[in-house]
Amino acid sequence: MVFEGFAQAHGVFLWSTFGIALVLGAVVNKTNFCTMGAVSDWVNMGDTGRFRAWLLAIAVAVLGVAALEYFGAAKPGASFPPYRAGQLLWAEHLLGGLIFGVGMTLASGCGNKTLIRIGGGNLKSVMVLLVIAVIAYFMINPFPGTDQTLFTLLFYYWIRPLAVDLGASQDLGAVIVGGDKVAVARLVIGGLLGIGFLAVAFRSADFRNSFDNVLGGMVVGLAIVAAWYVTSSVAVRADGDLMSLQGYVQQWDFYNQSTAGRPADSRPLAPQSFTFINPMGQALGYAASGFQSAVLTFGVMTVAGVILGSLLWALVSRSFRIEWFASGRDFWNHLAGAVLMGFGGVLAMGCTIGQAVTGISTLAIGPFITFFGIVLGSALTMKVQYYKMVYESEATFFKALVSALVDLKLLPSSLRKLEAV
């Protein structure tokens, strides 16, 4: 998609994002696609339907991006955030994933689900969104009058040295094969992984017969692919040169005599797809700027599109309901969960969609670690909560945690502190 002017190209970039997010929000609300719910169903009831929908979304995203990249229609190697960076930040992915998994369980849903719930009338999720937005914003942006962010103050100096250098790129194609065969390797590995995820998802007859689960997984995966295509394909022709939006902004002064219409930052114009924690911080920055167009990004349009899409479905289906905190404990759980999601989502460079679907679609190693951390953090939290509820005062946090780890086969059964429930 080539345009003669930046304003037109940028408009297509932003409004295409909004349109895809609108559909995503409506379908996720309609099908009750929920990654926290997927873990809950699996851990508490042995129902893998929604977890398989999550795997289907990953499969569709991996297959679609592998094909698009091979034919030059997607550029995950130049993405924002840089999923394939040569430095594997394994500790950040693992810790961030664990923290995020705990947080989304306490706050009744991940970043995407928070936006869906807002569209459906849930006022609790408005508070969750605001808390995540503040933390996500200051994890990346410095406090006023300083050069320090929450990340540099709390994490950078002890966790960044743990990174492992994997060379030019951390994606499976580059790590396993590399060299001049890397393009073919990415296509083959992506194809095999995608087919494997498809096989696991559709192995269950119950899943195959669930229209909503199949629809939810398909649409989420296709939305990821569509966003990769749009953000990688929109280009500007300037003085005979064909340039990406990001490249054009980086050379803005060469092509323009004024700064009018220039985005404040070129990074959010890079190829990318859906994620929800950092965009919440971007949305806060956009509002704080007085809604200046220079601060309007892919992430801001994502947040707006998903909320509106969910709202439209809630109105059409007459499922819109105002919901508030049931108790003081409910409030504090959501507040703590929001804080943890803000820290964990930025630290892990994404959420259940941003890393476990979008990130994995790039075949980068880090997102697989984040995916594991999120599922583990969420499952452990649910198990601990359940033991505390059943055994009440007898179940200390330590006993409940050890028993939960035994249930998940991460500790030997001889260490069990509480009878399995």
pLDDT block averages, 10 residues each, the chain of length 421: 90 97 97 93 90 96 97 95 96 97 94 96 96 96 94 95 95 92 96 97 94 96 98 90 90 84 92 96 94 94 97 96 94 96 95 94 97 95 90 85 91 88 77
Distance CA 250, CA 118 (A): 36
List the beta bridge partners of residue 265. Answer: none
pLDDT of the residue at 257: 76
Phi, psi of 141 (to 5 degrees): -100, 140
CA–centroid distance for 404 within its chain: 26
Q: Write the burial class of residue 49 (CB in 10 Å: 0-12 exposed, 13-18 middle, 19+ buried).
A: buried
CB atoms < 10 A from the CB of 405, how many? 19
List the beta bridge partners of residue 235. Answer: 2, 244
pTM of the model: 0.95
Q: Tell which residue, 362, 361, 356, 368, has the closest CA to residue 111.
A: 356
pLDDT of the residue at 417: 87
The H or E element spanning position 114 is helix 111-119
